[in-house]
Structure 1
């Protein structure tokens, strides 16, 4: 499977993240774990949050910083291993995961969720969006995440789930073209972007 661009780069905040912000899911110091090219972090920074975006890919962090500068947004971007998050202990009031959880295997997910718990303050809110077990086809490097996986793994890491629902996550028009060529039945918007099945998870740090 080959796409013309990184599939999740839609050059805008994910609608699922916008909805979470409008619902009051974020406050104070926010961690965007696996920030990618930075659009979600920039969106939150523009709304007054103190945002730190981390990613394991130096190129992604470099481009995220450029996008933030171009838009006049203040975000602290850093290259970091999300499964350890060394140096960030007890720092965040809110955590965002926009499709990082689903690219990690079970062992790395456990380490990741534990790291998120460690860098969060008591009562911190976690907002997590991940591709679900209802994906219409396999995606490179993406695991199909079931409801039971979410409940078991978040609970084991000290997170209390307060909301869990099926939702959608946008991938760009390049991915949309691939799905059309392969005659895979997906929902697209007016720009050709595809809304893939996802989970919207809300949790609090115990």
Structure 2
């Protein structure tokens, strides 16, 4: 796969495994994880979201747009430009104010912004162990409040890349506090309406001495 197929960045472990960039998932209809709406778990948690919001790995924007519909200031970022174009179109069609921008989740410091709430819906589980360490380091640069992670876990009818509980908590060391990890479900385009087993983690950024 030519490097320019990955926009000049290093491909992730998932991209190396499939041989395709994330953007390819949106070229022939909805991506496998798109089912036509925001994740129910995110909808239930949305009243707890405050201030400025970053949706890391926002895809086609359903979660970000739901949060924007609640009056939150939302930035959705992804490496898949096709997905971002879809998200921008949805925002126009629904008359919602949300910004969508190309950004690498492993280098969120390049945004030079900090957010009160950060959402990761379906991104954490796509990284391997080394990438998760780098990803958490990237999140440190942009999170000043609470991080919410919704990811696949092991169980019956599990989704790809299921995450063990200890693998979810391991990358979060000093500067973070894992507040809760709850059992949830993730809706996808290839599961029924019950979705796949998931974790929903609430992780708080601890105040620095700065």
Fold shared per TM-score above 0.5: yes
- Structure with the bigger RCO (C-alpha within 8 Å, sep 6+) is 1
Alpha-carbon contact 1:95-1:126 (below 8 Å) kept:
yes
Deviation by residue 1:155-205 (Cα, 9 ceiling, x = unmatched): 36x321111011101112xx14xxxxxxxxxxx3xxxx3410000100100
Whether 1:102 aligns to 2:120 is: no
Pick aligned residue for 2:149 from 101, 120, 128: 128
The alignment yields a C-alpha RMSD, in angstroms, of 1.8
CA displacement at 1:87 relative to structure 2: 3.0
List alignment gaps of at least 5 residues for structure 1.
177-187
CA displacement at 1:135 relative to structure 2: 5.1
1:12-51 to structure 2, matched below 5 A, reads: 12-22=37-47, 24=48, 26-51=49-74
Whether 1:54 aligns to 2:77 is: yes
Equivalent residue number for residue 169 of structure 1: 186
Q: State TM-score, norm by structure 1.
A: 0.81
Equivalent residue number for residue 9 of structure 2: none
2: CA distance, partners of 1:72 / 1:150: 36
1:159/1:135 CA distance change after superposition, 3 Å: farther
2: CA distance, partners of 1:89 / 1:114: 14
Equivalent residue number for residue 11 of structure 1: 36
Equivalent residue number for residue 69 of structure 1: 92
Alpha-carbon contact 1:61-1:79 (below 8 Å) kept:
yes
2: CA distance, partners of 1:116 / 1:168: 24
CA displacement at 1:7 relative to structure 2: 2.2
Pick aligned residue for 1:113 from 125, 136, 139: 136
Equivalent residue number for residue 183 of structure 1: none
List alignment gaps of at least 5 residues for structure 2.
1-27
Q: State TM-score, norm by structure 2.
A: 0.80
Secondary structure of the residue aligned to 2:96 is coil
Secondary structure of the residue aligned to 1:113 is helix
Secondary structure of the residue aligned to 2:31 is coil
Deviation beyond 6 Å, 4+ runs, structure 1: none
